[in-house]
Structure 1
Amino acid sequence: MSHTVYIGSDKRWLPASGKIRGVNMGSLFVFEPWMASTEWSNMGCGSYASEFDCVSGLGQSQANSVFQSHWGSWITQSDISQMQSYGLNTIRIPVGYWMDESIVYADSEHFPQGGLSYLSQLCGWASDAGFYIIIDMHGAPGAQVATNADTGQNAPSPGFYVDYQYDRGTAFLGWLANQIHTDNNMRNVGMIGIVNEPVQNADQVESMRSYFYPNAYSAIRNAESALGISSNNYIHVEPMNQLWGSGDPNQYLTNTYFMAYDDHRYLKYDSSVEVSQAAYLSNSCNANRNSDNDTPTIVGEFSLSPPSNVQDDPDWSTTTQTAFYKQWFAAQVTNFESTTNGWIFWSWKAQLGDYRWSYQEAVTAGVIPTNIADVFNEGACNGI
């Protein structure tokens, strides 16, 4: 069987502007109920902790119907147009390994089916609008962390870190690389994140670095070789960077050609930074998010949310502290663009009534300018 190979506009690399400025498609293909409880409830999933649990509870047919309705409405072409109008140039799309339905264990795993056509449609809209696209394996086989719906399942323990689950992960990545190179809608996909936010214990996940990472790299490259893809049109292979805490991703790699590195920066979860506006601004202006020298690095996730125990305090009020949040956003992206290859906000939209997690709402609130280029005129880090 022959395949038509589709070539991205300028290799499968960074936007012409030189810096990635993007948003995550959070809760689209990997649903995170905390972000969108109304949608989750309307789907009939309100009593379930994760996609796996909801599909198991509703049954496959009903689940397919409600999830396909969600995929068709959560992010639309008008959303892409709005992102484009704001000066953004990149989207990151979290997906689960179950999008390749051939590797799901039919007797014991429960995930919605039919996602690929919706992923293709979204990539088509984004490609037509000139966006750079990153797809990441947000949900790994067996779950890469425990009790977190962002893996697609509420697993009691992280089951990913064994050879047979690694092998399913690499099978998914090879399959995804083949889809990307043979679907014209995906012509602007330039990067695959190979596993999102694994366990932050370098010793515990050494097998991930020694076995999964080299095999993931090879699976993507082998898929490209089989299609006759030239090296200047390779997909970037993107693990989490060393700053994440899972060890040096390059430790066991013999080839790092067309690699990239994912940095996630949530001060909300960083206990080493004092919880104050001044400390947050100082850290955001001065931290080097490329201190591990992994290049290119992209800050694939960040937000404007402080720790949960203070987020409703007067000092952190979204109503009275908009000037601070405006400065903090500007400080973060200014720093990310000076130390890395750019940034991707988490997330485009949410149902929290809280612009700290929603780019769309932050623009409406005046915290993020309608033209992102204007943020660099604000001098957010002057004198800090």
Structure 2
Amino acid sequence: MGIITKLATLTTLTSLATAWLPKENKSINSTTGTNLFETSSKIRGVNLGTQFIFEPWIAQTAWSTLSCKNQASEFDCVSSLGQDAADTAFAKHWDSWTTEDDIAKMVSYGLNTIRIPVGYWMYEELVDKSEHFPRGGLEYLKRICGWASDAGLYIIMDLHGAPGAQTPGNAFTGQNAEKPGFYTGENYERALRWLEWMVKLVYSVDEMRNVGMVEVVNEPVQEDGMASSMREKYYPQAVERIRATEKKLNINKNDYLHIQTMDQSWGSGDPNEFLDDLTYMAYDDHRYLKWDTSVEASHDSYISTSCGDKRDSNSPNIVGEWSLAVPDDVEGSSDWDPSSNTEFYAKWFAAQVHSYEKQQGWVFWTWKAQLDDYRWSYQDAVKAGVIPKDLSKLQNPCS
């Protein structure tokens, strides 16, 4: 049973869900020409960063509680603690980082989507003897998906940590890999098996009924031979294997999942270059002015840049990661201090929403952090009055 059919059984949530879920034939509809702040058809969401792939910089206190303080990634921590001790420690984290109350709060704030970054190691059969990751995460993933589905939230399942690591030196891959090892036939095959496994779960596990989109890999390397290999070999096989799995399960084509890749503006080339079937494709754009050295670090420049941003290198496009963070060399200065510049950050948030809702919408990075800095934490930005609890109250700063 596909997501739209399954959601229809949630009679108390139908009006919420059908207002923004993919419409006829699951194609994502544009609302060009309407008031962006009065439509509810756009994706408005948050990432569950550090829930299932721990990025130590986001939550040093929680990382230390896991006895991982001096470790660079989950792989390193599990290697240090030993498998059984790590499994116990990470289970406590999975149980507490995102709660049912968090999900309820998201809904109360007018959010309609969560993006869940997960690692390939959640499918434990894929992990070989040389790899060290925490085990037991699947039951917690099902639980969170169940809470989200009950609440009417749309779910994007994101393969954030790919086999072998798709980019070097990043804990978001689950390991602090010296070199990216993903771009081989063997690791492509492991990722493809993960996709098949995830698709089967979506259609067979009731708690996962609101997963409507699967992202095949997060933030791969940018344009080079490895990116070309990924576009030519992995992307077409990912589409083929997902659709073949749905066909084998006798899923009506109208109920197929959206398949998401990074968009062309990410820098890994045109994701559609070798694809023959673009049915229900979607694209992920990550927009962090913090790392865009072409943009002057000033309040006026940030507002004007965000107001004029055209994030349309592929369509339908979702800005799946963005924040209110600014460059390291200015983030602590008085001009950018979060506590004394709430008016600017509120205006910049609205400017980004204005531009990203010209496309299919946005997913903020992230819902929760332990940084004492709301620029990376949606819930903290709401507490600070930078993001309104009612998104319909947003004023367009670009008119």
TM-score when scaled to structure 2? Answer: 0.91
Letter in 1 for 2:391: I
1:354 aligns with 2:373: yes
Partner of 1:124: 146
Q: How does 1:200-349 map to 2 (within 5 A)?
A: 200-290=222-312, 292=313, 294-338=314-358, 340-349=359-368
Residue equivalent to 2:392:
373
Give the counterpart of 1:97 among 120, 123, 137.
Answer: 120
Q: Which amino acid aligns with 1:130?
A: G
1:30 aligns with 2:50: no
Q: Which residue of 1 aligns with 2:35?
A: none
How far 1:202 moved relative to its partner?
Answer: 4.3
1:160 maps to which residue?
Answer: 182
> 8 Å contact 1:51–1:153 — kept in the other structure?
yes
Contact 1:139/1:195 (<8 A) preserved: yes
8 Å CA contact 2:2–2:256 kept in 1: the answer is: no
| SS of equivalent residue, structure 1 residue 18 | coil
CA distance in 1, matches of 2:141, 2:355: 32
Conservation of the 8 A alpha-carbon contact between 1:5 and 1:227: no
Q: What are the Cα deviations for residues 201-225 of structure 1, in whole angstroms up to 9, with x where unaligned?
A: 2444101000000111112111111
The partner residue of 1:56 within 79, 90, 107 is: 79
**Structure-1 separation of matches of 2:187 and 2:140:** 26
CA distance in 1, matches of 2:244, 2:139: 24
Aligned partners of 2:2 and 2:255 also within 8 Å: no
Alpha-carbon offset, residue 51 of structure 1: 0.4
1:187 equivalenced with 2:204 (yes/no): no
Q: Does the residue aligned with 2:131 lie in a helix, a strand or coil?
A: coil
| 3-state SS, counterpart of residue 335 of structure 2 | helix
Q: Which residue of 2 aligns with 1:174?
A: 196
* Percent of residue pairs bearing the same amino acid type: 54
The equivalent of 2:10 in structure 1 is: none
Asked if the contact 1:36–1:352 (Cα under 8 Å) also holds between the matched residues in 2, the reply is yes
Q: Report the residue type matching 1:31 in the other structure.
A: F
**1:380 Cα shift?**
1.2
**Larger mean Cα displacement after TM superposition, 348-357 or 315-324:** 315-324
Q: Is the 8 A contact 2:212 2:257 kept in 1?
A: yes
Q: Is the 8 A contact 2:221 2:268 kept in 1?
A: yes
Which deviations, in whole Å up to 9, do the C-alpha atoms of 1:22-71 show, x marking residues without a partner?
00000000000000000000011111100001011111111011111100
How many residue pairs are counted as aligned between the two chains?
373
Gaps of at least 5 residues in structure 2 are 8-17, 30-38
Instruction: Supply the distance in 1 between the matched residues of 2:372 and 2:148 (Cα, whole angstroms).
Output: 26
SS where residue 96 of structure 2 aligns?
A: coil
Structural RMSD (CA): 1.4
Question: How big is the shift at 1:365?
Answer: 0.2
Instruction: Tell me by how many angstroms 1:379 deviates.
Output: 2.6
CA distance in 2, matches of 1:381, 1:262: 24
**Matched residues in 2 for 1:324 and 1:124: separation?**
37
Equivalent position SS for 1:315: coil
Q: CA deviation at 1:17?
A: 2.5
Provide the rounded CA distance (Å) in 2 between the counterparts of 1:8 and 1:335: 32
Quick check: 1:66 aligned with 2:89?
yes
Q: Matches of 1:274 and 1:202 in 2, distance apart?
A: 28
Q: One-letter code of the match for 1:273?
A: V
Q: Which amino acid aligns with 1:109?
A: E
Moved more, 306-315 or 16-25: 16-25
CA distance in structure 2 between the partners assigned to 1:365 and 1:63 by the alignment? 35
2:2–2:252 Cα contact (<8 Å) kept:
no
Q: Secondary structure at the match of 1:155?
A: coil
CA contact (8 A) 1:202 1:245 kept: no
Letter in 2 for 1:17: S
Supply the distance in 1 between the matched residues of 2:201 and 2:254 (Cα, whole angstroms): 18
Q: CA deviation at 1:298?
A: 0.4
Structure 1 residue corresponding to 2:67, chosen from 41, 44, 48: 44
User: What's the CA shift for 1:271?
Assistant: 1.0
**Matched-pair contact (CA < 8 Å) for 2:63–2:69:** yes
Structure 1 residue 94: deviation in Å?
Answer: 0.2
Shift of 1:18: 1.2
Q: TM-score, normalised by structure 1?
A: 0.95
